[in-house]
Amino acid sequence: MTTADHYSPIYRDELLGKVLPFWEKHSPDPEHGGYFTCLLRNGQVYDTDKMVWLQARQVWTFSMLYNRLEQKQEWLDMAMLGADFLEKHGRAPNGDWYFSLSRQGRPLVQPYNIFSDCFAAMAFGQLYLSTGEARYAETASATFRKILERRGNPKGIYNKAVPGGRALQGFSLPMILCNLCLELEPLLEPQLVEQTIDECIHTVMEVFFDPTTGLVLENVEPGGGLSDSFPGRLINPGHALEAMRFIIDLGARRGDAKLCRKAGQRILHMLDFGWDTTYGGLYYFLDRKGYPPEQLEWDQKLWWVHLEALEAVLKAYVQTKDSRLADWFLKLHHYSWPRFSEPEYGEWYGYLKREGTPLHTAKGGKWKGCFHVPRALWGCWQALEALRTS
Amino acid sequence: MTTADHYSPIYRDELLGKVLPFWEKHSPDPEHGGYFTCLLRNGQVYDTDKMVWLQARQVWTFSMLYNRLEQKQEWLDMAMLGADFLEKHGRAPNGDWYFSLSRQGRPLVQPYNIFSDCFAAMAFGQLYLSTGEARYAETASATFRKILERRGNPKGIYNKAVPGGRALQGFSLPMILCNLCLELEPLLEPQLVEQTIDECIHTVMEVFFDPTTGLVLENVEPGGGLSDSFPGRLINPGHALEAMRFIIDLGARRGDAKLCRKAGQRILHMLDFGWDTTYGGLYYFLDRKGYPPEQLEWDQKLWWVHLEALEAVLKAYVQTKDSRLADWFLKLHHYSWPRFSEPEYGEWYGYLKREGTPLHTAKGGKWKGCFHVPRALWGCWQALEALRTS
């Protein structure tokens, strides 16, 4: 890619000059610990609830940058602010992670959502690498083991499906596990890591793939077949692209060029399928048969979808040098930056209407915190640097 | 209202000539019983799951019209098609109603949602009036009693709130009970009816009302106070208008002119608050402090919201003769008809984007069946007839 020199500093400067400062300035709760994530365009706090997903993700972000980019004390302090809060308040008596807490740390919503646990494991895994504190390693690996135990029925008692009714498997957990086992590799036995990676690659690349249409699926029958139902028809292009990016990471780690090429092909196909040819951008949800998805937000354009797409095409390009991926990088870059980035206060908008204007101008909420923007800016910057020096 | 002569036949003809024929033609499942509700613009079935809400609501619609408009055998047959299916497949062993069933009647989703029970009680209550069959009265009143028993914790074991966390009361159930106790009046002891009505009027008009802003609230503290949280800030103008319409029905039944005037005032205020002054139409969700609602569909314009608004203003006008309500009828009528009604195949579109164009063109789905359109067309037509002859 001849243009890596041009783009690399754009991603770096946005991360270091715009996005991290926004969260450093506006998110810390000095009184009770943890972070505010419900922030308006200018950083004003509009709600003080603390979602465990987002607390853990912010711990991970600052700790990861401390580990991989620079050992800045303020980044470690920022990570510790959330980690202390999570250690104090985040877990139910059985060790599962609550979904949300009040500003003070009072539990509000039960541990029905296993992704709280996934992000807590990521957070404490990174923090162990930052600090060498054995307690954090123990928290991360104990949480990881409980995730593996719960994965057959991740919602547990909160599962509303009738046994024997329509027991679909969901894509999210195997997808996250692809990433999580690389994240926690330093803490786990090598055999468990390799076994989990093998299972995840098989599940993500074979079980949740429809060879007829070439689409990555969100929900499949227990045996792996297509389900003609709302969840069974659902396509989430951003999810598929994020998962393919995790597969590229695994392929790169194993030196498996064939796996990287396969993931690259699927990235190209999902981009073609998910792209809005009228207004540009990637749809949030589609139905694989073209019917109306049940999600009323299906045609919106979400920040994380576009950031995951950017990181996926760059990382796939690094591995495969397929020029169509480079073309898509430019197309995605030129769609995303003018619409999502917001230079005045920093951090990106989250939700655009189909036509590309903001649905609202908040920078954070119940589902958007300090995670996808810095993670993908970092990932894109690193991929662009790899291209510059290759 | 001088224009009732003009509008009354419009509502009648749409009901009888466009909407009922759509459902009569496309929704019956002759093979397994019950109704298809996931129907494209032209009536083509695109999903065969059977949501208990929508099965029961369609039983109610056809049975109600049989009872109140005309004893047409095909309407009773249509009601029976769904009632037989629900009797056979709709209830869990403990008597609670499942949320959804497969086409064949296999239970898919557990009875986590008490509104399935509310609509089942309405359906079998009407069907008892149509048939005199004691079994239907028993089903309706047993279901009603279980709803009253469950109302302290309607989600039961599926409630994800941590005890002692943030135990808000929701508006939906007291609102529906306002309507349900009138629906089931012929089956219940008069004392239970009067007591439930008293409680409902108090709850809807006092507990879920913020005198400072004049807004009807969706969720309040257990003691009735404001909660500064996403659910506590949520405003659903359509819900509030539907509830005020139920209150008008109760006020009319009791000859309580003061209650009707109060409900009329709140209708006017919620219309002013909920109206989109840029594109017209009523928003789906708003935040009472002006922050971004968590619902990404907040700015969409929904069929039921506008139909409930039309029926509410007409019924309030019948009771109060406040000319501002008549003005709102015209404004709502001229917004809604060109955008929601679809004369080629009948039945209205469900979901418009903020700007007023369809989000998709399906006529039914998981949450839209044969209910709000015919119920409100019927209610508006009857109110317009009352004005013509008054």
Residues A229, B165: C-beta atoms closer than 8 Å: no
pLDDT of residue A164: 86
The DSSP 8-state label assigned to residue B162 in this structure reads P
**With contact defined as beta carbons under 8 Å apart, do A83 and A61 qualify?**
no
Among chain B residues, the shortest Cα distance to A284 is held by B296
Instruction: Provide mean pLDDT across the span B175-197.
Output: 93
Give pLDDT, residue B152: 85
Grouping H, G, I as helix, E, B as strand and the rest as coil, residue A275 is strand
* Per-position DSSP letters for A190-206, written without gaps between them: HHHHHHHHHHHHHIIII
Considering only A59-63, A314-318, B171-175, B259-263, which range has the smallest mean pLDDT? B171-175
Tokens 């012929």 belong to: B186
CA B65/CA B59 separation, integer angstroms: 10
Per the document, the length of chain A is 390
pLDDT in tens, B42-64: 999 999 999 999 999 999 999 99
Chain B residues close to A47, C-beta within 8 Å: 228-230, 291
Model confidence pLDDT, tens digit, residues A324-353: 999 999 999 999 999 999 999 999 999 999
Q: Report which of B244, B363, B364, B367 is spatially closest to residue B297, judged by C-alpha positions.
A: B367
pLDDT for residue B216 is more than 80: yes
pLDDT tens for residues B60-102? 999 999 999 999 999 999 999 999 999 999 999 999 999 999 9
Closest CA to B172 of B225, B227, B100, B242: B242
Do A162 and B109 lie within an 8 Å CB cutoff? Answer: yes
Q: Which amino acid is at B175?
A: M
Report d(CA A109, CA A106) in Å as an integer: 10
Please answer whether residues B61 and B370 qualify as being in contact, where contact means their C-beta atoms are separated by less than 8 angstroms. yes
Q: What string of pLDDT tens digits covers the 390 residues of chain A?
A: 578 999 999 999 999 999 999 999 999 999 999 999 999 999 999 999 999 999 999 999 999 999 999 999 999 999 999 999 999 999 999 999 999 999 999 999 999 999 999 999 999 999 999 999 999 999 999 999 999 999 888 888 889 999 889 989 999 999 999 899 999 999 999 999 999 999 999 999 999 999 999 999 999 999 899 999 999 999 999 999 999 999 999 999 999 999 999 999 999 999 999 999 999 999 999 999 999 999 999 999 999 999 999 999 999 999 999 999 999 999 999 999 999 999 999 999 999 999 999 999 999 999 999 999 999 999 999 999 999 988
pLDDT at position A152: 85
Distance separating alpha carbons of residues A182 and A179, to the nearest angstrom: 5
Residue type, B206: E
Tokens of A61: 């972000």
Q: Which of B235, B230, B248, B140 is nearest to B184 (CA)?
A: B140
Q: Hey, what amino acid is at A359?
A: L
Choose from A44, A47, A49, A276 for mutation: most chain B CBs within 10 A.
A47
Are the beta carbons of B165 and A112 separated by less than 8 Å? no
| Strand ranges in chain B using DSSP code E only, listed in sequence order | 38-39, 45-47, 50-51, 100-101, 107-109, 169-170, 209-210, 215-216, 219-220, 234-235, 286-287, 301-302, 351-352
Closest-approach residue (CA) in chain A for B229: A47
**Is B297–A297 a contact, with Cβ atoms under 8 angstroms apart?**
yes
Asked if B127 contacts B79 with a C-beta cutoff of 8 angstroms, the reply is: yes
Does the pLDDT of residue B339 top 80, yes or no? yes
CB contacts, 8 Å: B157 with chain A: 157
pLDDT computed for residue B120 by the predictor = 98
User: Which residues from A are below 8 Å from B36, CB to CB?
Assistant: none
User: Would you list the DSSP string of B252-292?
Assistant: HHHT-HHHHHHHHHHHHHHHHHHB-TTT-SB-S-EETTSPP
Neighboring chain B residues of A106 at a CB cutoff of 8 Å: 164-165
Task: Give, in order, the Cα–Cα distances in Å from B161 to each of A111, A291, B206, B224.
Answer: 10, 34, 25, 18
Measure CB to CB from residue B365 to each of A165, A229, A294 and give the nearest one: A294
CB-nearest to B110 from A112, A162, A166 is A162
* Angstrom distance (rounded) from CA A41 to CA A36: 14
CB A362 within 8 A of CB A40: yes
- Residue of chain A with shortest Cα separation from B290: A46
Look up residue B49 and give its two tokens: 């799951």
The first and second tokens of residue B306, run together, are: 């506008």
Interface touch B165/A106, C-beta < 8 Å: yes
Chain A contact for B303, CB < 8 A?
Answer: no
pLDDT tens profile B287-321: 999 999 999 999 999 999 999 999 999 999 999 99
Considering only CB atoms, B229 lies closest to which of A47, A297, A362, namely A47
pTM of the predicted protein model: 0.96
Residues making up chain B, counted from first to last = 390
| A 256-295 residues inside an 8 A Cβ radius of B | 289, 291-292, 294
Asked if B53 and B377 count as a contact pair (C-beta separation under 8 A), the reply is no
Q: Is B354 on the interface with A (CB under 8 A)?
A: yes
- Chain B environment of A107 (Cβ under 8 Å): 162, 165
Give the one of A160, A298, A299 whose C-beta lies nearest to B112's C-beta.
A160
Angstrom distance (rounded) from CA A123 to CA A180: 10
Q: How confident is the model at residue B390 (pLDDT cuts 50, 70, 90)?
A: confident
d(CA B388, CA B305): 25
Q: Which of B101, B160, B359 to mutate to test the interface with A (most CBs of A within 10 A)?
A: B160
Q: What is the largest CA-CA distance in chain B?
A: 56
CB A219 within 8 Å of CB A240? no
pLDDT digits (tens, 9 = 90+) for A120-142: 999 999 999 999 999 999 999 99
Residue A173 CB contacts under 8 Å (≥ 6 apart), including other chains: A114, A118, A147, A151, A154
Residue B161 with chain A: CB contacts under 8 Å: 108-110
Cβ contacts from A onto B, under 8 A:
102
CATH of region B1-30+169-390:
1.50.10.10
Any idea where the domains of chain B sit in the sequence? Answer: 1-30+169-390, 48-152
Residue B225 phi, psi (nearest 5): -80, 170
Interface test with A, best of B96, B296, B361 (most A CBs within 10 A): B296
pLDDT at A64: 98
Q: Which of B47, B109, B291 sits opposite A46 (nearest CB)?
A: B291
The vertex-B290 CA angle with B284 and B295, nearest 5°, equals 40
Is B162 near chain A, with CB under 8 Å? yes
Give me A372's structure tokens: 């996808």
Q: Is B313 on the interface with A (CB under 8 A)?
A: no
Assess B225–A contact: CB distance below 8 Å, yes or no: no
Q: Which of B38, B106, B165 comes nearest A165 by C-beta?
A: B106
Q: Both ends of chain B: CA-CA distance in Å?
A: 10
Contacts of B99 in chain A (CB under 8 A): 160
Give yes or no for B93 touching A (CB within 8 A). Answer: no
Any B CB within 8 A of A192 CB: no
Beta carbons of B291 and A164 less than 8 Å apart: no
Sign of CA dihedral A271, A272, A276, A279: positive
Confidence of residue B153 (pLDDT cuts 50, 70, 90): confident
- Give the whole-angstrom CA distance, residue B81 versus residue B75: 10
Query: Is the confidence at residue B1, as pLDDT, over 60?
Result: no
Interface of A with B in 15-74 (CB under 8 A): 38, 40, 46-47, 49
Contact status, residue A80 vs residue A30, Cβ threshold 8 Å: no
Give the CA angle between residues A88, A150, A118 to the nearest 5°.
50
Cβ proximity of B63 and B129 under 8 Å: yes
Angle between helix B257-274 and B303-320 (nearest 10): 140
The two beta strands, B286-287 and B215-216, are unpaired
Contact assessment for residue B360 and residue B49, using Cβ atoms and an 8 Å cutoff: no
DSSP per-residue letters across A283-349 = -S-EETTSPPPS-TTTT-EEHHHHHHHHHHHHHHHHHH--HHHHHHHHHHHHHHHHHH--TTT-S--
Residues of A within 8 A of B359 (CB-CB) are 292, 296, 298-299
Phi (first) and psi of residue A28, to 5 degrees: -65, 140
| Tally of CB atoms within 10 A around A293 | 21
- Best mutation target among B47, B52, B228, B353 (most A Cβ atoms within 10 Å) is B47
Tokens of A362: 């908040």
